[in-house]
Amino acid sequence: MGPSQRLDDDLPSGRVASLTVNYDGTTVIEPSPLGITTYVGQFVTSLSLEDTTVKTIKQQYETVGGDKSGQQTLHARLGTLTFGSPNGSLQLELLVSNEGIAYRYQLPGEGHILVDKEVSAFQIPEGSTAWLHSYNNRYESVWEGTDVASASGTFGFPGLFEVTDDAYTLLTEANVDGNYCASHLAVNGEDGRMGDDAPREESLVGEENDRDEIIPENEEFDYDENPRLFELRFAGQEGYGLPTIVDSSLPLETPWRVALIGDLSSIVESNLVAALSEPPQVNDTSWITPGIVDWSWWSDGDSPRDLEIQKQYVDYAAEQGWEYTLVDRGWRREWMPELVDYANDRDVEILVWMVWTDLNTERKRETLFSRLKSWGVSGVKIDYMDSDRQQRMQWYDEVLAATADHELLVNFHGSTLPKGRRRTWPHLLTSEAIYGAEQYKWEEVPASHNVVLPFTRNVVGPMDYTPVTFSATGDNAETTIGHELALSVVFQSDLQHFADSIESYQEYPLAEQFLSEVSAVWDETTFVSGTPEEEATLARCDGDQWFVGSITAGDSQTVNLLLSFLPDDQQYTMRLISDADDGTALTSREQTVTADETVSVDIAENGGFVARLWPSR
C-alpha cells in the first residue's frame, strides 16, 4: 500500500498549508509546513485554495546503469493545488506513488525572481530512529544512528528515519539544476540550539519574512521549539555563513522535495529520484558504457606521474577483463596519447582526472575536452567542486552538456549529492559525495558506516566509494577481507573503481577471480536482508547470473541467505567466498541450490561474504 493522500481546502487565515503522510495506517510524516518566500513577498500565510486537480500518470523512462538498467515505469497520482495570495499565485504539485511522495512549488509569470528560502520541513514522529550524517558541501562525513529527538545541527541529504519496524522514510531532493541551489536539512535539538556549525541565519528580505513571524502564534510549527522538525536549508555562501539567494526567472519550478516511504526493501530498491528528473538530453547513448575501473592513486599517490606504472595497471585491467583504467592527479600531457594507444590495443579505455577550475569557462571546456577527445580519452573525473550553491549547479549543467557534446564519460568528485541528473545526463556514471575508502589513508572508518550506506547514500544514485581495499584492513579500517570484497556487490557505481594495488589483489586469488567476474551493470537488484548499522545483504542480476554481497558490523554472527530472488524451477551452482576464521584470509565452497533454500553463512566480526550463482547445466 502506498502513502495515503487527502487534500483539504479549509485553510484558516494566518495559518500555513501543511503536509501529513500516512503509510499503511502509520503516520510517517506529521503535519509539516509548506511555503516559499521571495523578494516580491511570501507565499506561506494568507493563502486561499482556488483550484485542485488530480490525475493519474504513467511515465516510462530509461536509465543507463544503476541498480536496474533499462526501461522503467513510474505510476503515480499527481495533484496540483493552486493558491491565491496578496503577492500572486502559487501552485503546489504533490506526487504520490507506491515508492513515496514528492512535492514542489511553481510560481507562474515572467521576468526575474529572487527566492529567499522555503518554509518546507518534515516533522518526524516522536520515538523514531534516525540515520544521518553531518552536512558539509562534499557530503563526506560518517553516517550514524540516533534517536530523532537527539539530532541537532545540519545534516546532508538523504536522511533515513525508522518510524516503526516496517515503516521507514528517506528524505532527499530531486531534479536540482542551475535554476536553483541544492539544499540540506537543519533541526533544533532538545536543548533548543542549533549545532555549532549551523548558526541561525537571518532573513535577507526584512523582518516581515522571518520564519517565525510568518507563522504567528503557531507553536505546532515553531522552528525554534520543535526538536523533530527537519527544515530545508539552502546552500550557504562558503566562508560567509550567509544563505544563498536563488536568482532565477519566471515561470519557476523548484526542485522536488522527496520522501521515499515503505519497508527497507522498497527504500533500497527505489528509483523515484531518477523518475522525478528531467528526460535525457543525450539522444544517442551507444557510447555510454559503465564498467569496472582499476586505479593506482589509492595505493600509491605518486603513481599517476609514472607512465610505466600506468601501463602496468592497463595490463592488469586487460587480464581481469575490466573496461577502464583511471589516471589520477599528476598525469603528464606529453605521454597521455601514448598511454591511450597502449590501452586501446588491449581493449582498455582511459579515464583522466581534472580539477573543476580548469573547466570553469566555455573556452577552457572546449579547449580541454577537444584535446582529450583527440587523444582518445574516454572520460573525465572532475574534482574539488565543494559547493551546493546555484552557481555551481549551473556549472554542472554546462559541464555535462559539454562532455556530452564530446562523448566523454563523467565522474564527479568533491561533489554534490546525486539528485537525478544521471537520468538527464546518462553519461554521468558516478559521483563521490561519500565518506569513502580514500579516508582509510588518514582516518578511521567504522564498519557500521559502510552498513548504513546501502540504505541511504546509494539509494539516491551511483556512489564512487572506491571499494575493495584489502591492504587497509587492520589499519584505519575495522573491516575484514570478506567485508571489503563484498563491497564490490553491495555498493553500486556505474564506474566501479577497485582501489587497491595489483599486488594486493594477487595476494588473494579467490577474490581476484571473483573481481574478474563481477559486473558494474545490473539488470535487477533485490534487497535480501539487513538493518542499518548491522547487516546489508543484496542480490544483483547480470544476465543469467546472480551476485550476492553481504556486509556486517559488530560481533561475529550467522547470516541466513534466503535464495527466493532466484527464478523458480531452476537449479543454480553457487560459489560462496567468505572470511576464514580470523578475517584476514578467505575460504570458498560450492554447492547446488534452488530458490526455496536458505544458506547459513558464519560471519567474522565486521565481516562479509560474496556469492556467484549461475544456472546448473
Would you please indicate which residues are annotated as catalytic (active-site) residues?
383, 438
Q: What one-letter code names the amino acid at 180? A: Y
Handedness of CA 179, 181, 184, 190 (dihedral sign): negative
Distance of alpha carbon 134 from alpha carbon 190, whole angstroms: 17
Helix, strand counts (H, E) of the chain: 12, 35
C-alpha cell at 571: 537449479
Q: Which residues fall within 8 angstroms of residue 613, CB to CB, at 6 or more apart?
A: 545, 546, 547, 548, 563, 566, 572, 573, 574, 575, 593
User: Nearest 5°: CA angle at 258, between 228 and 77?
Assistant: 125
Q: Is 455 helix (H, G, I), strand (E, B) or coil?
A: helix
* Cα–Cα distance for residue pair 568/581, rounded to 1 Å: 34
Q: Which amino acid is located at 49 in the chain?
A: L
CA–CA distances in Å: residue 324 to residues 35, 134, 255, 298: 47, 33, 34, 16
Euclidean distance between CA atoms 264 and 510, whole angstroms: 31
Residues 220, 484: Cα–Cα separation, whole Å: 46
- 563523467: which residue's cell? 410
Distance, in Å, from the CA atom of 513 to the CA atom of 518, rounded to the nearest integer, reads 9
| Cβ–Cβ under 8 Å, residues 612 and 547 | yes
Q: Residue 92 and residue 17: Cα distance in Å, rounded?
A: 10
Q: How far apart are CA 553 and CA 536, in angstroms?
A: 9
